[in-house]
């Protein structure tokens, strides 16, 4: 058994992290620092190939860092095998593609899979699984075999399974990328509810509007930190945003296009409500 | 899976000259098309009695909830799966008509995450695979590969000899698209091409599709992204549980909005903005620059 985690220490305490894939010429992650505290919602952005998914695997204890000054997840040392095994229990990770995460014969067994491994009592497990199925609108699919599900349904099943096990922090790697707009809203709402309940979330995304409400935004570029700060601070510098392969939320893109035509708005709106307010204020 | 079903009336492959660049797009019509996956237990109907027409050079967004049959419909249109009933008409030709197989070869399908299918040692060899299989003369293959690489923003001088795996994720997706474009499709089918792309690569892909559309290529775009569907497509087709729910021009009336919501969709950003500004949502702009122009 590893030592019990310190409740006040950061959930992720990463310094000088390097990761290089076997045979690669360069580091996928290079000298990366990352600290995530209890209750935080941290959005991670970055162009394709910037190292976001690699980071998710390392945070979840699924890969061994090539090197690090220190790398702690929920107090577990990611540089040693025992620490990574403990991290896998406390850190819930959902990947971009749920195909490889569905293992059971039907949806409800898949959602129960992690709880069975932890030997939960049957009645508790049933209640927990039912709650998860309801939260993700999967009740009617509970007996469906995973290979008979659409991509979006698979993603919701995988997320329900990750969350069924009590976690200290979630690492979500583009969880909405394959979902229809309503499915995306359901997942976002569920994630925000869990965050409101106190769970820390590291949220990797290519959707700029999903980063707007985050406590903090970290942008990866070339495997290392290219920006860390607020969403407003990131989007205020449109030239840097483009250089990093990113964009502005739609409201911000329109404000920028207006400014280019000599009609600058007061402040930079990032949501449609902020945009409407700014347009109302405009002379 | 029943992907090995032969398409009725298909003629054997024979060498064919590539279509002239810029030749007009192909029209598409589906007439009562149904397709079910064969499963040991009760079959799940994937597409049921779907009929619609897409004129040559038109652009149609194929939308609907996850599992509504969008990918299946694209595979049937491409001819990878033969419909159980009904027919896919290309330029008005039915599968039993002479020349149908040749028309099918002018339909390009870009799969989800097409970069997973890259396999050759160089970008040039990967893009050349399709045209060579069509039996084109080698100088035509070279010209088609160079053009396709240029169209997707991977100039051959810099990229043709690179190993596909040495390219970034966004470059790999564009290379895979080049592999389809090299065969000069007159009807291009795209299955969720924007998923997992960073915003910069998304902008590039939108630009590529806008140029293909301007060149007259017919587009059928399956996507969950209502904003990009609105930016690129003149018309909308909504599938619900395999059935056609609506097809035709975008409709942002109260009934149209209800239909979108019932099918797990929403209004595009600029449409919502126009409505909330008290303007006519049917005349909402399709890009930030067009919106800024209208508001200036």
Domain layout of chain B by residue ranges: 1-106+184-201+211-265, 119-183, 266-296
Domain match, A222 and A257 both: no
Instruction: Say whether B224 and A180 touch across the interface (CB within 8 A).
Output: yes
Give the residue from A241, A182, A228 showing the smallest Cα distance to A202: A228
The pLDDT of residue B12 is 39
> A277 and A207 in one domain?
no
Local structure of residue A139 (DSSP, 8 states): G
Q: Which of A181, A206, A253 lies nearest to residue B264, judging by beta carbons?
A: A181
Pair A149, A266 in one domain: no
> Is residue A237 located within the same domain as residue A256?
no
Within an 8 Å CB–CB cutoff, is residue B265 touching chain A? yes
Side-chain half-sphere exposure of B17, counting CA atoms within 13 A: 4
Burial (Cβ within 10 Å: 0-12, 13-18, ≥19) of residue B253: exposed
pLDDT at position B19, please?
A: 53
Q: How far is CA B217 from CA A83, B20, B94, B184, B207, in A?
A: 55, 12, 20, 9, 14
Nearest to A242 among B200, B201, B272 (CB): B200
CATH number for the domain that contains residue A132: 3.40.50.300
Q: Does B163 touch chain A (CB under 8 A)?
A: no
* Chain B CB contacts of A254 below 8 Å: 273, 288, 291-292, 295
Does one domain contain both A128 and A175? yes
Q: Using CB atoms, pick whichever of A181, A208, A246 lies closest to residue B226.
A: A181
Please provide the average confidence, as pLDDT, over all residues in chain B.
88
Name chain A contacts of B173, Cβ cutoff 8 Å. Answer: 48
Name the fold adopted by B1-106+184-201+211-265.
Rossmann fold (3.40.50)
ipTM over 0.95: no
Residues A185, A256, single domain; the answer is no
Q: Which residues of B touch A178 (CB under 8 A)?
A: 66, 192, 195, 224
B40 neighbourhood in chain A, CB within 8 Å? none
- Domain-embedded: residue A3: no
Structural domain total, chain A = 2
Q: Which residues of A touch B42 (CB under 8 A)?
A: none
Contact yes or no for B199 and A148 at CB 8 A: no
Instruction: Check residue B87 and give its pLDDT.
Output: 97
What residues in chain A have per-residue pLDDT under 70?
1-7, 98, 150-152, 282-283
Q: Are residues A226 and A243 in the same domain?
A: yes
Q: Is A3 exposed, middle or buried (0-12, 13-18, 19+ CB in 10 A)?
A: exposed
**What is the three-class DSSP state of B283?**
helix
- Domain annotation covers residue A94: yes
β-pair type (B187-191, B218-222): parallel
Mutation target for B interface from A96, A219, A257: give the one with most B CBs within 10 A. Answer: A257
Do residue B197 and residue A48 have CB atoms under 8 angstroms apart?
yes
Which residue is closest to B204 within chain A, CA to CA? Answer: A245
**How many Å lie between the alpha carbon of A8 and the closest alpha carbon of chain B?**
35
Interface of A with B in 82-141 (CB under 8 A): 96
B64 touches chain A (CB under 8 A): yes
User: In terms of CA atoms, which chain B residue is nearest residue A175?
Assistant: B196
Q: Report yes or no: A149 at the B interface, CB cutoff 8 Å.
A: yes
Whether residue A5 is contained in a domain is answered as no
Which residue of chain A has the CA closest to B69? A150
Considering CB atoms only, which of B39, B173, B200 is closest to A47? B200
What distance in Å separates residue A153's CA from the closest CA in chain B?
7
Whether A6 maps to a domain, the answer reads: no
Give the residue from A43, A48, A204 with the most B CB atoms within 10 Å of its CB, the best one to mutate. A48
Residue A95 has what pLDDT? 82
The answer to whether residues A190 and A271 belong to one domain is: no
Q: Is residue A60 part of a domain?
A: yes
Which residues in chain A are contacts of B65 at CB distance < 8 A? 152, 180, 182-183
Rounded distance between C-alpha atoms, residue B132 and residue B50, angstroms: 34
Say yes or no for a CB contact (<8 Å) between B288 and A256.
yes
Residues in B touching A152 (Cβ below 8 Å): 65-67
Same domain, A167 and A267: no
Is residue A192 located within the same domain as residue A270?
Answer: no
* pLDDT for the residue A254: 97
Give the nearest chain B residue to A148 (CA atoms). Answer: B44
Select from B265, B288, B296 the Cβ nearest to the Cβ of A180: B265
For residues A24 and A111, state if they share a domain: yes
For B39, the token pair is 């499963």
Chain-chain contact of A206 with B272 (C-beta, under 8 angstroms): no
Residue showing tokens 């403990």:
A86
Pairing assessment for the beta strands A70-73 and A76-77 based on DSSP bridges: antiparallel
pLDDT digits (tens, 9 = 90+) for A181-226: 887 887 888 888 889 989 999 999 999 999 999 999 999 998 999 9
Contact B199 A208 (CB under 8 A): yes
Is A219:A46 a contact under the CB 8 Å cutoff? yes
Tens-binned pLDDT, residue by residue, of chain B (296 aa):
333 334 443 343 444 455 555 468 999 999 999 998 876 455 566 899 999 999 999 999 999 887 788 999 999 999 998 999 999 999 999 999 999 999 999 999 998 878 888 889 999 999 999 999 989 999 999 999 999 999 898 999 999 999 998 888 788 889 999 999 999 999 999 999 998 889 998 998 999 999 999 999 999 999 999 999 999 999 999 999 899 999 999 999 999 999 999 998 999 999 999 999 999 999 999 999 999 999 99
Residues in chain B with CB shorter than 8 Å from the CB of A184 are 224
Range of the domain at A120: 12-247
Same domain, A44 and A72: yes
> Are A258 and B292 within 8 A, CB to CB?
yes
* C-alpha separations of B62 from A83, A207, B111, B237 in Å: 47, 21, 14, 5
B116 touches chain A (CB under 8 A): no
A275 close contact with B: CB closer than 8 A: yes
| B197 lies within 8 A of chain A by CB | yes
Tell me which chain A residues have a C-beta less than 8 angstroms from the C-beta of B195. 177-178
Let me know: does A71 contact A14? Beta carbons within 8 Å: yes
Instruction: Taking each helix axis as running N to C, give the angle between helix A107-117 and helix A122-135, from 0 to 180 degrees, rounded to the nearest 10.
Output: 130
Q: What residue in B sits closest to A182 (Cα-Cα)?
A: B264
pLDDT score for B136: 93
């Amino acid at each position: 058994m590893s030592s019990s985690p310190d409740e006040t220490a950061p959930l992720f305490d990463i310094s000088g992290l390097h990761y290089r894939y076997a045979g690669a010429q360069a580091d996928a992650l290079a000298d990366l620092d990352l600290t995530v505290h209890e209750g935080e919602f941290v959005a991670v952005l970055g162009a394709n190939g910037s190292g976001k998914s690699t980071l998710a695997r390392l945070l979840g204890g699924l890969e061994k860092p090539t090197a690090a000054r220190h790398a702690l997840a929920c107090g577990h040392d990611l540089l040693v095998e025992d620490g990574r095994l403990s991290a896998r229990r406390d850190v819930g990770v959902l990947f971009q593609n749920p195909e490889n995460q569905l293992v059971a014969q039907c949806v409800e067994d898949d959602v129960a899979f992690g709880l069975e491994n932890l030997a939960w009592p049957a009645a508790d497990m049933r209640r927990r699984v039912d709650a998860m199925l309801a939260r993700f609108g999967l009740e009617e699919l509970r007996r469906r075999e995973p290979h008979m599900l659409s991509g979006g349904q698979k993603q919701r099943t995988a997320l329900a399974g990750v969350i069924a096990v009590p976690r200290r922090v979630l690492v979500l790697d583009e969880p909405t990328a394959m979902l229809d707009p309503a499915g995306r809203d359901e997942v976002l709402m569920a994630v925000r509810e869990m965050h409101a309940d106190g769970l820390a979330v590291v949220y990797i995304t290519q959707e700029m509007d999903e980063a707007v409400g985050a406590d903090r935004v970290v942008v990866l570029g070339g495997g290392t930190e290219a920006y860390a700060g607020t969403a407003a601070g990131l989007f205020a510098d449109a030239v840097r945003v483009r250089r990093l392969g990113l964009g502005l939320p739609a409201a911000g893109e329109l404000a920028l296009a207006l400014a280019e035509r000599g009609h600058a708005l007061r402040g930079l709106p990032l949501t449609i409500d902020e945009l409407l307010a700014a347009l109302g204020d405009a002379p | 899976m029943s992907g090995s079903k032969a398409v009725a009336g298909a003629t054997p492959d024979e060498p064919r000259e590539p279509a002239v660049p810029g030749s007009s797009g192909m029209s598409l019509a589906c007439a009562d098309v149904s397709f079910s996956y064969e499963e040991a237990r009760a079959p799940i109907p994937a597409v049921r009695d779907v009929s619609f027409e897409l004129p040559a050079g038109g652009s149609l967004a194929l939308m609907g909830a996850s599992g509504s049959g969008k990918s299946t419909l694209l595979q049937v249109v491409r001819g990878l799966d033969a419909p159980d009933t009904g027919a896919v008409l290309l330029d008005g030709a039915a599968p039993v008509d002479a020349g149908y197989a040749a028309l099918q070869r002018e339909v390009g399908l870009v799969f989800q995450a097409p970069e997973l299918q890259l396999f050759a040692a160089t970008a040039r060899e990967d893009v050349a695979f399709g045209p060579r299989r069509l039996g084109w003369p080698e100088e035509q293959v070279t010209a088609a590969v160079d053009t396709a690489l240029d169209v997707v923003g991977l100039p051959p001088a810099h990229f043709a000899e690179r190993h596909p795996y040495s390219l970034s994720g966004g470059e790999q997706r564009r290379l895979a698209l080049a592999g389809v474009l090299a065969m000069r499709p007159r009807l291009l089918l795209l299955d969720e091409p924007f998923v997992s792309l960073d915003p910069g690569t998304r902008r590039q892909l939108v630009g590529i599709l806008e140029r293909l559309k301007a060149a007259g290529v017919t587009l059928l775009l399956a996507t969950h992204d209502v904003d990009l569907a609105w930016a690129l497509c003149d018309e909308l087709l909504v599938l619900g549980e395999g059935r056609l729910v609506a097809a035709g021009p975008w409709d942002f009336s109260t009934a149209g909005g209800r239909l979108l919501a019932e099918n797990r969709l929403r209004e595009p950003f600029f449409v919502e903005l126009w409505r909330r500004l008290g303007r006519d949502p049917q005349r909402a702009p399709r890009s930030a620059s067009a919106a800024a122009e209208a508001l200036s």
